[in-house]
C-alpha cells in the first residue's frame, strides 16, 4: 500500500498475530494493488472483461458505486488514467495539454463500469472501453483496515487500534478503561505536529490532504487530488479533510470526495450525512489555518 501500518490490540491470551496480518495484507495487495502487474485489478485494467472469484474486489466495487452516486461523481475510481497522466500513479508523467486531458476524461466515469454476480462466489466485471482503468487507492486502504479489524474480532479481540497510513479504526477501550487517542496532523509538509486530538471508540477515522503528495512545475504546485469532472488537480483552500464514519472504507472514500468538492460543497455534503462527522482544515487569506468541524466531532476532542 506504499505506507506503514501500526496495530495495537489487547489480547488476554498474549498472542502475536503479526504473521497472520502480514499474510492477509499480501493476499489483499494481490487483489487491489495497481503496482502489482498480476493483481486482480491490474489484470482487469489490461483488458475489457474479467470473470473472477476475487473476494476483495466485489465489496469495493459495490461501495464505490454507492459513494460515486452519493457524491455526484466527486469520488470516482476510474480516475486512474488521469492520475498516471499527471505523474501521481505507477507510470511516468506525460506531457499534459488540454487536448490530452479532454481525451482521458472520456475514460472517466464509474457508471461505465458494470459488474454482475454469476454465482455465490463468482462475478463478471467489464468496462465500456479497454483503456479505462480502476484505481481503488482512495478506498482500499480503509477497507483493509476494516478487514484487519474483522480478523482480530474473529480471534476474540475486542479492544484494538488499527492504523494504515493514517486511516484508523478503533474498537473498545484500552485495558485501563480509557478511549483510544488519535491525532489529526497539521497540514504542513514535513510537519509532525498535530492539529487536533480525538478520542475514538468503535468508529473509524480517515484523512485526505494535498500538502504532502505534490510537485512543482513552472512555479505552480500540482497536487495529487485529481478532479474527475475537470481532469485537473483540484485547487482550493481546503488543505485537509478528516472524516469519522462507521467503517474506515467509508471514511477513506468520503475524505477524498470532500477534497475534490472543495470546502463549501464538502460542508453541505457532510451536514446531510447523519452517520458522518468531519473536520476540515483550510487556508485563510493570511496564509494561516482555520478549522471547521461538525458538532458531533467537537464531542470527540
pLDDT at 57: 96
What average pLDDT does the structure give for the chain? 89
Taking CA 34 as the corner, what is the angle to CA 29 and CA 35, rounded to the nearest 5 degrees? Answer: 80
Q: What's the structural domain count of the chain? A: 1
110-153 per-position pLDDT tens digit: 999 999 999 999 999 999 999 999 999 999 999 999 999 999 99
pLDDT of residue 164: 95
pLDDT band at residue 206 under the 50/70/90 scheme: very high
pLDDT grade for 58, boundaries at 50, 70 and 90: very high
Report whether pLDDT(242) > 50.
yes
Q: In what order do the strands lie in the sheet with 203-209?
A: 5-10, 159-164, 167-171, 203-209, 238-245, 277-283, 289-293
- The pLDDT score that the predictor gives to residue 29 is 95
- Which residues lie across from 290 on neighbouring strands? 282
* pLDDT given at position 217: 47
Q: Could you tell me the residue range of the domain that residue 262 belongs to?
A: 170-298
Provide the pLDDT confidence category of residue 163 given band limits of 50, 70 and 90: very high
**Within-domain flag for 193:** yes
Taking each helix axis from N to C end, the angle separating 140-154 and 248-261, rounded to the nearest 10 degrees, works out to 160
Residue 153: inside a domain, yes or no?
Answer: no
- Residue 212 pLDDT greater than 80, yes or no: no
Query: Is 194 inside a domain boundary?
Result: yes
Cα 169 from Cα 261, distance rounded (Å): 25
Evaluate whether residue 64 is within a structural domain.
Answer: no
Q: What is the CATH number of the domain that holds 269?
A: 3.10.520.10
**Whether pLDDT at 267 is above 60:** yes
| Tens of pLDDT, residues 81-120 | 998 888 776 666 667 788 888 999 999 999 999 999 999 9
- The predicted pLDDT at position 223 comes to 44
For residue 91, the model assigns a pLDDT of 65
The secondary structure of residue 109, as a DSSP letter, is -
Statement: residue 74 has pLDDT above 70: yes
Domain membership flag for residue 256? yes
Asked whether residue 239 is assigned to any structural domain, the reply reads yes
Q: Is residue 270 part of a domain?
A: yes
- pLDDT at position 292, please? 94
Is the per-residue pLDDT at 220 higher than 70? no
Is 222's pLDDT higher than 70?
no
Supply φ then ψ for residue 232, to 5 degrees: -115, 155
- The C-alpha atoms of residue 257 and residue 75 are separated, in whole angstroms, by 5
Residue 89 within a domain: no
Output the pLDDT for position 236.
Answer: 76
Amino acid at each position: 500500500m506504499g505506507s506503514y501500518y501500526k496495530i495495537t490490540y489487547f489480547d488476554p491470551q498474549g498472542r502475536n498475530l503479526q504473521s497472520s496480518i502480514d499474510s492477509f495484507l499480501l493476499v489483499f495487495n494481490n487483489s487491489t494493488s495497481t503496482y502489482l502487474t498480476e493483481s486482480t485489478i491490474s489484470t482487469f485494467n489490461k483488458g475489457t472483461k474479467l470473470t473472477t472469484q476475487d473476494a476483495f474486489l466485489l465489496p469495493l466495487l459495490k461501495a464505490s458505486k454507492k459513494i460515486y452516486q452519493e457524491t455526484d461523481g466527486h469520488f470516482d475510481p476510474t480516475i486512474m488514467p488521469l492520475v498516471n497522466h499527471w505523474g501521481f500513479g505507477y507510470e511516468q508523467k506525460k506531457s499534459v495539454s488540454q487536448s490530452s486531458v479532454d481525451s482521458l476524461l472520456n475514460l472517466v466515469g464509474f457508471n461505465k463500469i458494470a459488474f454482475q454476480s454469476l454465482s455465490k462466489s463468482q462475478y463478471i466485471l467489464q468496462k465500456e472501453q479497454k483503456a479505462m482503468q480502476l484505481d481503488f487507492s482512495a478506498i482500499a486502504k480503509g477497507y483493509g483496515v476494516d478487514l484487519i479489524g474483522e480478523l482480530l474480532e474473529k480471534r476474540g479481540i475486542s479492544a484494538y487500534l488499527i492504523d494504515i497510513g493514517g486511516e484508523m479504526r478503533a474498537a473498545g477501550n484500552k485495558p485501563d478503561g480509557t478511549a483510544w487517542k488519535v491525532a489529526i496532523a497539521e497540514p504542513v509538509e514535513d510537519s509532525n505536529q498535530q492539529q487536533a486530538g480525538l478520542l475514538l471508540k468503535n468508529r473509524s477515522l480517515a484523512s485526505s490532504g494535498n500538502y504532502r503528495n505534490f510537485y512543482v512545475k513552472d512555479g505552480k504546485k500540482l497536487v495529487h487530488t485529481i478532479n474527475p469532472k475537470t481532469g485537473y488537480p483540484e485547487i482550493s483552500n481546503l488543505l485537509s479533510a478528516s472524516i469519522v464514519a462507521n467503517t474506515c472504507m467509508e471514511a477513506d472514500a468520503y475524505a477524498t470526495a470532500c477534497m475534490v468538492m472543495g470546502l463549501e460543497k464538502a460542508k453541505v455534503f457532510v451536514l446531510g450525512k447523519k452517520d458522518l462527522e468531519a473536520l476540515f482544515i483550510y487556508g485563510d487569506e493570511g496564509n494561516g489555518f482555520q478549522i471547521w468541524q461538525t458538532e458531533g466531532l467537537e464531542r470527540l476532542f
